[in-house]
Amino acid sequence: MKKEKVRERIIRVASELFYKQGFNSTGINQIIAEADIAIGSLYNHFSSKNDLLQAYLLKEEENWFEGFESSVINISEPKEKILALVDYRKKLQQSSKFAGCHFIKIISEIGDSNPVVFDFVKKHKEKQKDLIKLLIINCGETSSASEPDITTDNIFLLIEGAVVTSTINKNSDSFGQVKKIVEGLLP
């Protein structure tokens, strides 16, 4: 097994702590202790806690899109990929024990007080919408797919709503409802 590099370990530990207990509730000393590193090691890789937060969000975004691509690698139909996106978000919720979306959580905690992070999260959600829109356009030019922007917004909102609802209810029932609605929206 390959030894984890210090930078990767710092990001992994910080990611787990930021997600589990929140960014503001996680101190640098806790990250250093749980990563089992010297304070200098942290500052050799990250100039500040905000710098570490940005690395965390970049890693989560990379993981999110790689995970989605892996989940649809054997699916060729765009409509089936959209339905697989619903399943993917359901799987993420289940694997986190319904802890919610990394990006929604950080924005709910810091708001727009950190413009760099706020813009990153906004762009991340826009990338998700762009992914949905591309799949909708590839579905064909019939039915609601002739209005890809409206259909994209509707599907995006349904999925995000299912994530929030499943976080609150601690179950994945809402994703089944979303899949039925999405099937009706697509040709």
Q: What is the pLDDT of residues 43-72, one digit of tens each?
A: 999 999 999 999 999 999 999 999 999 999
**Residue-level pLDDT at 142:** 46
* Best CA proximity match to 14, nearest among 29, 125, 105: 29
Mean predicted confidence (pLDDT) in 69-88? 96
Establish how many alpha carbons lie within 13 A of residue 48's alpha carbon, considering only the half-sphere containing its beta carbon. 3
Question: 108-152 pLDDT, tens per residue?
Answer: 999 889 999 999 999 999 999 999 999 999 987 544 446 889 999
Residue 26: CB atoms within 10 A of its CB come to: 21
Token pair of 23 as six digits: 């960014």
* Best CA proximity match to 175, nearest among 148, 155, 150: 155
CA–CA distance, 176 with 142 (Å, rounded to integer) = 24
The reply to whether 133 falls in a domain is yes
Q: What is the CATH number of the domain that holds 43?
A: 1.10.357.10
Q: Of the ranges 72-81, 87-96, 137-146, 164-173, which one carries the lowest mean pLDDT score?
A: 137-146
The reply to whether 51 falls in a domain is yes
Reported confidence tier of residue 2, pLDDT bands at 50, 70, 90: low
Token pair of 145 as six digits: 């797919």
**Residue-level pLDDT at 143:** 46
Compare 158 and 42 and report the one with higher pLDDT. 158
Mean predicted confidence (pLDDT) in 37-48? 91
* Best CA proximity match to 49, nearest among 18, 28, 33: 28
- How many angstroms from the chain centroid is the CA of residue 37? 28
What does pTM read for this prediction? Answer: 0.90
The reply to whether 75 falls in a domain is yes
**Total domains present in the chain:** 1
The reply to whether 1 falls in a domain is no
**Residue-level pLDDT at 1:** 55
Quick one: the chain helix, strand, coil %, rounded to 5?
80, 0, 20
Computed from CA positions of residues 99, 68, 133, 114, in that sequence, does the dihedral angle turn out positive or negative? positive
Domain span holding position 127: 6-185
- How many angstroms from the chain centroid is the CA of residue 184? 25
DSSP assignment of 141-152, as one string? SSGGGGSHHHHH
Mean predicted confidence (pLDDT) in 94-99? 95
Q: Reply yes or no on whether the pLDDT at 180 is more than 70.
A: yes
Token pair of 37 as six digits: 């590193």
Q: Reply yes or no on whether the pLDDT at 3 is more than 80.
A: no
**Residue-level pLDDT at 111:** 87
Position of tokens 């259909």? Answer: 151
The percent of residues in the chain predicted with pLDDT above 70, rounded, is 95
